[in-house]
Chain A
Amino acid sequence: MRQSTPMELRMGAAREGRLSLPGLPRMLTSEHPLPWLLPLTAMLLVFTVYPLIYNIWLSFHEYVPFKRALVPVGTDNWARLLADERFWGAMGTTFLYFFVVLGIELVLGIALAMLLDSDAPGYGLLRSLLTLTLVIPPAITGMMFLLMEDAQFGVLTWALQGIGLLSPDTPILATPSTALAGVMLADIWQWTPFMVLIVLAGLRSLPPEPYEAAMLDGAGPWMIFRKITLPLLSKVLAVAILIRGIDLFRVFDYMFVMTSGGPGTSTYTLSLYAWQQTFSFIQWGYGATLSLVTLALILILANLFIWISKVRW
């Protein structure tokens, strides 16, 4: 039988309420956890629970400017939501953005990670360069791409026109059919490295033995990728999809900076629409309703995903 390490013994003693962990200050070994939980609990109450409850309360009220007051409106906001074409449009845009960007970032992320998974000299440098895009504020990235996709002097416009993918009379961000793709580009550029890093971390920790066994079993590279690598990575991928998915569903910065939701309403996402209702139109109640719906959707999707992707092995 394995001997318990001194640390485990201490932890065990602490759990049983007995005391005295030699070396640790008394205050860190308290038998009363409550005081230690209090700061966190207080912060959660003030910054998470209270705003959430207030938001729910707000969704049953509306700000009336000439009264300078919130008045109860019952379920009016919720009824309005169902009939609001702009809401459904924003939801469609959000889902489209979510699936396309997540898909591209995932595939690109896995592909790049596999290319970078090497111990040869130089690869470490390449891997650390990847983190550079992650330190740029998304709003700045948005501005960069706004410039690069500028119809007159944008480098991306010039390049795309050069290879014939874009006709000269199509300004990317001012054309309803291309504007969303233009925004997606910024997101993909900024966040694919994040995917790469997570997948790389997963790849680097994979055991070599199953690969050797698979090679001897006669499997080729594609078979090995499909049957060994992907399943082994599934836990890591699930985490990456969850983190990115939640981020993507509440995307705001890129649209705000690059298109302000336009042209027309073609790049309005749920977050941006909620922002517009709340802060431009001073429809606090309706804005709260919209953000609650976004929250609910994220919660449902995330939990659905966790449930589906429950990794069994």
Chain B
Amino acid sequence: MAQVSYRKIAKSYGAVEVMRDVELDIADGEFAVLLGSSGCGKTTLLRMTAGLETITAGDLMIGGARVNDRPPKDRDIAMVFQNYALYPTMKVFENIAFSLRVKKAPEAEVKRKVGAAAEVLNLTDYLDRYPRELSGGQRQRVAMGRAMVRDAEVFLFDEPLSNLDAKLRAHMRVEIRQLHDRQGATTIYVTHDQIEAMTMADKIVLMKGGKVEQVGTPDELYDRPVSKYAADFVGSPSMNFIEGEIGEREGAPIFLAEGVAAPLPAPMARHLGRRTIAGLRPSDLHPAENGAVQGTLTLAEKTGADQNLHVRAAGVDIVSTAPRNFQVRQGQHIALAIPPERVHLFDAATERRLGA
């Protein structure tokens, strides 16, 4: 059992506080993704979990035991580093076998485990090479292999795919998730790429400025972002934001801004007159007669499967995803409709989500 729990975790470098009050539980066998932009503290949190950074305050529990003061080697954690951190002086085989050598595992076991890992990772032909003789993708797989032979309680990944090209990244996403499903170990995965987070995670931990912004399943983050920041971070293309006010039309609440009149679900009536920011996902906005958003088309970007329409409305650039065969010309007037329940509302001052 390796539940990982963070209790009021804080981190300071001298007088500079970079993280505080991190409260988080990651269940045994869960695939958790720490998501956030650079400097949000996600890597620091991961390195504190590994024991590579000291914890200034709070308790880190792994499997129910407080491990704050336990050195990395006694935490039973395997980690894949962003730059892979391979041992440059050892061949691939010895790189993968190193932890087994440390444990003085019998030669037969070393051969079997390294062989099995190499098999899964397609590295069998490269076991006799030095890391410098490998491509980035191969090095990444060696780093994975090194973690795989560990049978560790907890696996940590620190942006392992950030140095790979897009195609390989998509492939490795699947590999890592499958590896997790096979081994069933608790996994904490750090990334700034929301697509990685959405596709791989059981649970996403969105971080901002050294604090946890939102914790939830990918669907929860996508459907019910707690703040404008969370809404902006998740989803591609990004959510559109329009500042306006909640008004009333024919007894029903409606979001009003210049050129925008979007009907809202009935319970939103209690926020009548409030300054708000409406968040509209591009995938929820569709061209329609008498749509909620009226504007002119400035650009149609083909993405292959469909197209992103850039519409100038309410003084901002609104993006909508439309079918590839939808015909519209630049400069033409266009209306976009959105179902009332798909409109996200955030308080204009606090930027927190407004509940019904």
Q: Which residues of A come within 8 Å of B, CB atoms?
A: 207, 209-210, 212-220, 223, 227-228, 231-232, 234, 312-313
B69-88 CB contacts (< 8 Å) to partner A = 71-75, 77-79, 81, 83-88
Cα A38 to Cα B299 with chains together (Å)? 66
Task: Kindly provide the distance from the CB of B51 to the nearest chain A CB, expressed in whole angstroms.
Answer: 8
4 further A-B pairs in the complex, CB-CB below 8 A; given A212-B79, A231-B87, A313-B130: A213-B86, A217-B73, A227-B90, A234-B89
Pick from A207, A209, A217, A231: contact of B99, CB under 8 Å: A217
- A interface footprint on B30-67 (CB within 8 Å = 1, 0 otherwise): 00000000000000000000111000000000000000
Q: Do the beta carbons of A217 and B88 come within 8 Å of each other?
A: no
Pick from A212, A219, A231: contact of B89, CB under 8 Å: A231
Report how many A-B pairs have Cβ atoms within 8 Å.
72
B101-134 CB contacts (< 8 Å) to partner A = 101-103, 130-132
Q: Do the beta carbons of B73 and A219 come within 8 Å of each other?
A: yes
Cα A220 to Cα B102 with chains together (Å)? 8
Which chain A positions have C-beta within 8 A of B146?
Answer: 213, 217
Pick from A212, A223, A232: contact of B88, CB under 8 Å: A232
Which chain B positions have C-beta within 8 A of A227?
Answer: 87, 90, 98, 101
Cα A215 to Cα B130 with chains together (Å)? 21
Which chain A positions have C-beta within 8 A of B50?
Answer: 212, 216
Number of residues of chain B lying within 8 A (CB) of chain A: 30
Task: Kindly provide the distance from the CB of A202 to the nearest chain B CB, expressed in whole angstroms.
Answer: 13
Cα A274 to Cα B317 with chains together (Å)? 88
Task: Kindly provide the distance from the CB of A2 to the nearest chain B CB, expressed in whole angstroms.
Answer: 14
Which chain A positions have C-beta within 8 A of B79?
Answer: 212-213, 216
Q: Do the beta carbons of B71 and A215 come within 8 Å of each other?
A: yes
Nearest residue, chain A, Cβ from B133: A313
Pick from A210, A231, A312, A313: contact of B85, CB under 8 Å: A210
Q: Do the beta carbons of B130 and A312 come within 8 Å of each other?
A: yes
Which chain B positions have C-beta within 8 A of A313?
Answer: 88-90, 130-132
List, sorted by A's number, 10 A–B pairs whose CB atoms are closer than 8 Å. A209-B81, A209-B85, A210-B85, A212-B50, A212-B72, A216-B52, A217-B102, A218-B73, A218-B99, A313-B89
Cα A227 to Cα B101 with chains together (Å)? 10
Interface centre among A213, A220, A313 (most CB of B within 10 A): A213
- B150 near A: Cβ within 8 Å? yes
Which chain B positions have C-beta within 8 A of A218?
Answer: 73-74, 99, 102-103
| Contact A219/B52 with A214-B87, A312-B130 known, Cβ cut-off 8 Å | no
Cα A312 to Cα B94 with chains together (Å)? 15
Which chain A positions have C-beta within 8 A of B130?
Answer: 312-313
Cα A255 to Cα B77 with chains together (Å)? 57
- A interface footprint on B124-157 (CB within 8 Å = 1, 0 otherwise): 0000001110000000000000100010000000
Q: Do the beta carbons of B85 and A213 come within 8 Å of each other?
A: yes
Q: Do the beta carbons of B73 and A210 come within 8 Å of each other?
A: no
Q: Do the beta carbons of B132 and A223 come within 8 Å of each other?
A: no
Cα A210 to Cα B51 with chains together (Å)? 15
Which chain B positions have C-beta within 8 A of A213?
Answer: 79, 81, 85-87, 146
B313-353 CB contacts (< 8 Å) to partner A = none
The 7 closest A-B pairs by CB, nearest first: A209-B85, A231-B89, A217-B99, A213-B85, A215-B72, A218-B73, A218-B102
Interface centre among B52, B86, B88, B89 (most CB of A within 10 A): B89
Which chain A positions have C-beta within 8 A of B77?
Answer: 216
